Amino acid sequence: MARKNPTLPAKPSAGSASDARADLVARAARNAEGATMCRSDPLADAQAARAVVQAVGEHSKELSRRGLNGAYCEAALDLAREIEDHLQAMPAAAVSARGRSQEAADLLADAATTAQALRTAVLRVTRSADGRRVARDFGLGDPLSARQPAHVARALTRILSALEAHREVRDDIGVLPEDVQTMQDLVRDLADIAGAPATVSDEHAQLLEAQCALRAFFDLFAAKASLALAADPDERARVLALLPRVEERRHLRREPTRASG
């Protein structure tokens, strides 16, 4: 009988990988219900997934005992591939600043800064348990990349809708009619560089689902690796450093100097 390589996670069956993916998607949905923000670059997440899966393989025995097995690794790699596929399928203007005019780049930067400023303001006045649902209505929990017009346009659109539905929050953060008009103008102008909604919407929605599910895998890995490697702080620090950095996603207590890319 061939000896199995103990450094690699056992290859799961299709069913177990499917179950793992379903679990990650469900975890991502619960994160969204709690208004957990996901502010990271989808391509960076996809690239990091491979390094994280390798780290799981290096510590497969310890992590498998804690429930992070090859099924989750296979699901994570599938999600990473899907993210890359969706990014390639979306219009080039929606995923890269290369070739974008200076005017369009300035517009995107202004729109992203506006969206993030509104999100931060909403987060500061919706810290209660009930406030999490309200924050979700404003789009907190959705990825926001300043390099992707579709991300920014979607964020502003959700904010505008939520401002109409939650007048008390609008008053709390001090949104003026001219602020609303500015956001409406930005959404209209972004449409010219973000691609037609019919072209972007399906790919964008699937990209968001895959990225949030992959972030849920990273959370599981961080939690289980912290325990499994508690006796080896240097190795624990090394593997946790493989995770893509994101800003604090729920209890942001400082104004960002610029929108996350």
pLDDT per residue rounded down to tens, the chain (261 residues): 444 444 444 444 334 888 999 999 888 887 776 545 556 788 899 999 999 999 999 999 999 999 999 999 999 999 999 999 988 877 554 445 445 678 888 898 999 999 999 999 998 998 877 788 898 899 887 777 787 788 899 899 999 999 999 999 999 999 999 999 999 999 999 887 755 444 455 677 788 889 999 999 999 999 999 999 999 999 999 999 999 876 544 444 333 434 444
Residue type, 15: G
Q: What span, in angstroms and rounded, lies between the C-alpha atoms of 146 and 133? A: 24
Contact 219, 27 (CB under 8 A): yes
Give me the residue spans of the domains in the chain: 18-90+201-240, 100-194
Q: What span, in angstroms and rounded, lies between the C-alpha atoms of 171 and 83? A: 38
